[in-house]
A and B are shown apart, each in its own frame.
Chain A
Amino acid sequence: DVQLVESGGDLVHPGGSLRLSCAASGFTFSNYWMDWVRQAPGKGLEWVANIGGDGNGKYFGDSVKGRFTISRDNAKRSVFLQMNNLRAEDTAVYYCARVRSGSQYDVMDVWGRGTTVIVSS
């Protein structure tokens, strides 16, 4: 089965750092762009970042640019989101998602169940 499993969510103080992981299975991981999307409590979906299959293309949402980085290890079939200088407004459920093959505009066809990040003192 095609599956994505996120981990690494935690309670962290403002200004702190956290690294999220997403482990993939059931598909040729290196062939796919991978995205991170989040949902803050009571809010809608917000796109966070994505990375190309070979790890060369990386893009970030304006609200996280300069604070978050994204990387992947294709040998370990995993994608990572390094979050630095965390703010209260980064509190959210973070989802890892696969971009549909051939998609021209980030259609996300497989999603993990999410991992929760809480930024609070």
Chain B
Amino acid sequence: MVLTQSPATLSLSPGERATLSCRASHSISKNLAWYQHKPGQPPRLVMYDASNRATGIPARFSGSGSGTDFTLTISSLEPEDFAVYYCQQYRHFGQGTRLELK
């Protein structure tokens, strides 16, 4: 299983919409999670089962997809959203998308 995330880096401003992609090398139904990781902090579960927000995650985060193509969308970026985001399925992580301040 290989999870490929794109883009590697996404440069946006607060208030903009962020769209992060994760492609699986073979179909995984909806069995995908997303994590947010900031420097010096542990990863934080954002989304599971492709489209279920984890506890405490604000509604501006949404997830979609099934099979091989998945998307994490942040509708209107807040300053605290800038981080690296990883998709994950079983023992496999994508390489991450760095969401940086433009």
User: Which A residues have a C-beta under 8 Å from some C-beta of B?
Assistant: 37, 44-47, 50, 59, 61, 95, 97, 100, 103-109, 111-114
Q: Are A109 and B93 in contact (CB under 8 A)?
A: no
Chain B: interface residue total (CB-CB under 8 A): 26
Q: Are A111 and B86 in contact (CB under 8 A)?
A: no
- For the complex, give the distance between the alpha carbons of A50 and B54 in Å: 21
Q: Are A113 and B35 in contact (CB under 8 A)?
A: no
Q: Does B22 interact with chain A (Cβ within 8 Å)? A: no
Q: List 29 A-B contacts (CB under 8 A).
A: A44-B84, A44-B86, A44-B94, A45-B37, A45-B86, A45-B96, A46-B93, A47-B88, A47-B90, A47-B91, A47-B92, A47-B93, A50-B91, A61-B91, A95-B42, A95-B43, A103-B48, A104-B31, A105-B28, A105-B33, A105-B89, A105-B90, A106-B88, A107-B45, A107-B88, A109-B45, A109-B48, A112-B42, A113-B41
- For the complex, give the distance between the alpha carbons of A113 and B44 in Å: 11
**Partner among A47, A61, A105 whose Cβ is within 8 Å of the Cβ of B31:** A105
Measured between beta carbons, the chain A residues less than 8 angstroms from B43 are 37, 45, 95, 97, 108, 111
Q: Are A111 and B44 in contact (CB under 8 A)?
A: yes
Q: Which residue of B lies closest to A103 (CB)?
A: B48
- For the complex, give the distance between the alpha carbons of A104 and B91 in Å: 11
> In whole Å, how far is B8's beta carbon from the nearest beta carbon of chain A?
11
**Partner among B31, B44, B55, B96 whose Cβ is within 8 Å of the Cβ of A44:** B96
Measured between beta carbons, the chain A residues less than 8 angstroms from B45 are 100, 107-109
Q: Are A107 and B33 in contact (CB under 8 A)?
A: yes
Known contacts A95-B43, A114-B42, A45 near B35 by CB under 8 Å:
yes
**Partner among A44, A106, A114 whose Cβ is within 8 Å of the Cβ of B90:** A106
Q: Are A106 and B91 in contact (CB under 8 A)?
A: yes
**Partner among A37, A100, A112, A114 whose Cβ is within 8 Å of the Cβ of B48:** A100
Q: Does B95 interact with chain A (Cβ within 8 Å)? A: yes
